Amino acid sequence: MKITLGGQLSYQLPGHPRHLEVQLEAPARLEEVLTGLGILLPEIYLVVVNGELVELQTALVSQQDEVKLYPPVDGG
Amino acid sequence: MYGTTGKILRVNLSTGELAIEELEEDFYRLYPGGKALAGYFLLNEMSPNVKPLAPENLLVIANGLLTGSPVATATRYVVSARSPLTGGYGESEAGGFWGPELKMASIEAILITGKAQEPLYLWIQDGQAELRPAKHLWGRSPAEVQADIRAELGDEKIRILQIGIAGENLVHYACITNDLRHFNGRNGMGAVMGSKNLKAIAVRGRQRYQTLAYDPDQLMTLGRKLSQEVKKHPSSADLQDRGTPGLVEMLNAGGILPTRNFRQGTFENMDNVKWEVYEKELLTARRSCYACAVRCKREVAVDGEVSPYGGPEYETIGAFGPNCGIDDLHLIARANELCNTYLLDTISTGATIAFAMECYEHGLISPEDTGGLNLRFGNGEVLLPLIEMIVTRTGFGDLLAEGSRRAAEKIGGDAPFFAMHVKGQELAMHEPRGKYNVGMGYAISEIGADHLVVTHDPALANPDSMAFKSARPLGITQAQPPRSLSPEKMEHFYILEKWNSFEKVVGMCFFGPAPRSFIPPEDVLTAVKVVTGWEFSMEEALAIGERATNMARVFNTREGFSRKDDTLPERLFQPLENGPLAGNAMRREEFEQALTVLYGLKGWESQTGQPTRERLEALSLGWTTGLMETK
């Protein structure tokens, strides 16, 4: 599964990766996948799975999915 | 008095008189710089009903309380006057290096009135000032003007604030630049300078900041700590890496990227204007403002040449890109370059062009009106010619140079519906139908639609987020959903508006203090303490912010503004056409109820939006009550 960390989310992980690839052997709850990666869930504002905006709390993902995560969007 | 020399430079361009006065500390503590000082002088020294481009309009340029200190993001100064774009209180802040240089030149603020018979520039050096001829600089580019003034005065370290041809031609959204790269963009302050025949203000100061501060050692310790924090905090680290252009993709994902004059919230060709393209095809370097480790400014190459004016910010990409249906980032960079060469506000320019495009598509204007330009959304060929026409006030450009509100009134028919403005100032590139407090900020702001009135709603939606936790010292205790205008949400607004206003008074950037960014509120208060020696509380900080806002409100009340002006374009009460928020609209009744709640919190009369005597007196502004009775 491909994950894109938008904006400041990439700064939560060492090396500040903007893209991650995760191997999923079975469908899983996105929250659990992200927690396992060390990503802080409260910092996520938007979740896009395969181009569709979804709720983090209920999202299920599979190996072929593309996930984009975005933090709260502020101004400037 | 610590933290400032308290010196004010008065300039009368009609008579050529220059004078320096000193402020008392008791006064300065109530009005400690920036928009607070500006509001005080505009109310006290200018009569009502002065035409914005008349010699009697008072132009105030004032540093923030902390400007020039080694505290990251404390670089800003305000330019303020009656705005030609709105007819109300005008204000525009900028960072860069000019404000700190003015501080080192021992001047805190400049009050400019009158009109010079021929173009002049003001030269300030170490507390001394003189007016010098500028006829030879009129009509020339900012880069040429800066080089010529530095050569003329024999010092390459001189910092220069200036207007361009747009200001000379009184375009109502002409801006001001300093050091070529930092802009007082909004409200048409460049036109006010142009109306006075004042081309530039050159400054050189040799004072050391440490000699001004109450506790220079603690100040340096705090400055170092905050600079180190920049790379550790996700928000400031991202601003350093990608800067504001990184916002394009995120706003598009949320369905709040203004597209085709705010009809839509997502842009189908967003991939062509997002950060990765910018980084690959335009970016040459990252730059900063004075003593600021955030380094959010981008340097770019335009058509293979490194621009002296810096790269397009998010607002510019949004305004010339998706909001005009244009997906060519190189063309957007050229439009940015042209605006910065002539010194036009890129937000109002792009938004006014988008307005014209929609009028064209609805047949309200024809090729005969536009000089043959085909103003359809997405037609990038018209962008650069139209900017040239606006700046030179040629043909159709002369109409657009007045701003979208006045242009709509002249075009007639349904055109006013397509003019996306509040109080005459065009909306910034943030779609309020996905973040309602931003909409309330657009509506209630004294300067017209402004996106920097409060922290944007998403940051405070999750009680466990870093941003929310960092807002707790302000008194924010309960997370609120972005698409809500509940009474609890208005309490958020009331607190955040005071805090953001305080940031403007002390000269800090929106990208410094929490909850938007990395500097804890406690550290902002500490900075004030070690700079001034004052015992200083959050309560006093918020009162300063509220006082500044109320002076601007009194100014507008005196000029005839009232509740009817605190509104939003009708389009925002209609559904968005596409994206994840398709079908969503703000609701008029809910908006009006929220406005009444907010007026109540602010101590303003619900029918008029006018500050009550009780609230003004509580803010030590009792002296302003009589001013409103003269309207």
pLDDT at B335: 98
Alpha helices in B242-382 (DSSP H): 247-253, 275-281, 314-320, 329-342, 346-361, 367-370
Domain boundaries B432-629, corresponding CATH code: 1.10.599.10
The whole-number pLDDT of residue A75 equals: 77
A48-76 confidence digits (pLDDT tens): 999 999 999 999 999 999 999 999 988 77
Burial class (CB in 10 A: 0-12, 13-18, 19+), B102: buried
Cross-strand bridge partners of residue B10? B19, B111
- Residues of chain B in Cβ contact (below 8 Å) with chain A: 233-235, 237-239, 241-242, 244, 246-247, 249-251, 253-256, 313-314, 428, 430, 435, 438, 451-452, 455-456, 458-459, 461-467, 510-511, 516, 580
Mean of the per-residue pLDDT values for chain B?
Answer: 97
Chain B: residue nearest A54 by CA? B580
Note whether B244 contacts A70, CB cutoff 8 Å: no
- Amino acid B231: pLDDT: 87
The DSSP 8-state label assigned to residue B519 in this structure reads B
For residue B320, give the nearest of B245, B240, B373, B371 by alpha carbon.
B245
pLDDT value at position A73?
80
Q: Report CA dihedral (B166, B169, B175, B178) to the nearest 10 degrees.
A: 80
Q: Would the pLDDT of B630 be above 60?
A: no
Q: How far is A24 from chain B (nearest CA, A)?
A: 25
Q: In this complex, is the C-beta atom of A4 within 8 Å of any C-beta atom belonging to chain B?
A: no
Q: What share of chain A is helix, strand, coil (3-state, %, to 5)?
A: 25, 30, 45
Q: How far is A18 from chain B (nearest CA, A)?
A: 11
Give domain limits for chain A: 2-70
The answer to whether the predicted template modeling score (pTM) of the entire model surpasses 0.90 is: yes
Q: What is the predicted pLDDT for the residue at B133?
A: 98
Of A10, A73, A75, the CB nearest to B452: A75
Q: What's the CA gap between B619 and B211, in Å, rounded?
A: 32
B35: three-class secondary structure by DSSP: helix
Does any CB of chain B come closer than 8 Å to the CB of residue A19? no
pLDDT tens digits, one per residue of A19-31: 999 999 999 999 9
Q: What is the mean pLDDT of residues B323-329?
A: 98
Answer whether A74 sits within 8 Å of B461, measured CB to CB.
no
**Angle between helices B346-361 and B383-392 in degrees, nearest 10:** 110
Q: Which of A6, A16, A75 is nearest residue B249 as measured by Cβ atoms?
A: A6
Give the pair of three-digit tokens for residue B368. 């005969």
The ipTM of this complex is: 0.96
Query: Could you tell me the two tokens for B624?
Result: 């302003």
Question: Does residue B520 register a pLDDT over 50?
Answer: yes
* Domain residue ranges of chain B, discontinuous segments joined by +: 7-205, 220-413, 432-629
Residue B181: predicted pLDDT? 97
Pick one of 3.20.20.30, 1.10.10.10, 3.40.50.300, 1.10.569.10 as the CATH number of B220-413.
1.10.569.10
Burial class (CB in 10 A: 0-12, 13-18, 19+), A7: buried
Among B250, B459, B465, the residue with its CB nearest the CB of A6 is B250
pLDDT in tens, B210-246: 899 999 999 999 999 999 999 899 999 999 999 999 9
Tell me the C-alpha distance between B80 and B627, whole Å. 19
- Nearest-neighbour CA in chain B from A8: distance (Å): 5
Question: Which of B232, B236, B238, B296 is best to mutate for the A interface (most A CBs within 10 A)?
Answer: B238
Mutate which: A3, A5, A8, A13, vs B, most B CBs within 10 A? A8
Interchain CB contact of A16 with B (< 8 Å): yes
Note whether A7 contacts B246, CB cutoff 8 Å: yes
What pLDDT score does A74 carry? 81
Is 90 exceeded by the pLDDT of residue B629? no
Instruction: Give the type of residue at B247.
Output: L
CB-CB under 8 Å, B428 with A73:
no
Closest partner residue to A73 among B233, B250, B428, by Cβ? B250
* Residue of B439, B467, B433 lying closest to B454 (CA atoms): B439
Across the interface, whether the CB atoms of B234 and A71 are under 8 A apart is answered: yes
For tokens 């050569």, the residue is B151
List pLDDT tens digits, range B105-151: 999 999 999 999 999 999 999 999 999 999 999 999 999 999 999 99
Checking if the pLDDT of B498 tops 60, the result is yes
Chain A, nearest residue to B512 by Cα: A76
With a CB cutoff of 8 Å and minimum separation 6, the contacts of B500 are B452, B453, B454, B455, B510, B545
Query: Which has the closest alpha carbon to B179: B151, B197, B201?
Result: B201
Question: B207 phi and psi, to 5 degrees?
Answer: -70, 145
| Closest by Cβ to A8, choosing from B238, B452, B510 | B238
The conformation of residue B1, written as its DSSP 8-state character, comes to -
Fold of B7-205: Aldehyde Ferredoxin Oxidoreductase;  A, domain 1 (3.60.9)
pLDDT at B631: 45
Structural fold of domain A2-70: Ubiquitin-like (UB roll) (3.10.20)
Asked if residue B455 has pLDDT above 70, the reply is yes
Report whether B479 contacts B524 (CB < 8 A).
Answer: no
Taking the CB of residue B156, how many other CB atoms lie within 10 A of it? Answer: 8
State the average pLDDT over residues B415-421: 98
Q: Which residues pair with B200 in a beta bridge?
A: B121, B162
Alpha-carbon distance B361 to B1, whole Å?
Answer: 60
What is the per-residue DSSP string for B335-354? HHHHHHHHTB-HHHHHHHHH
CA distance B197 to B285: 35
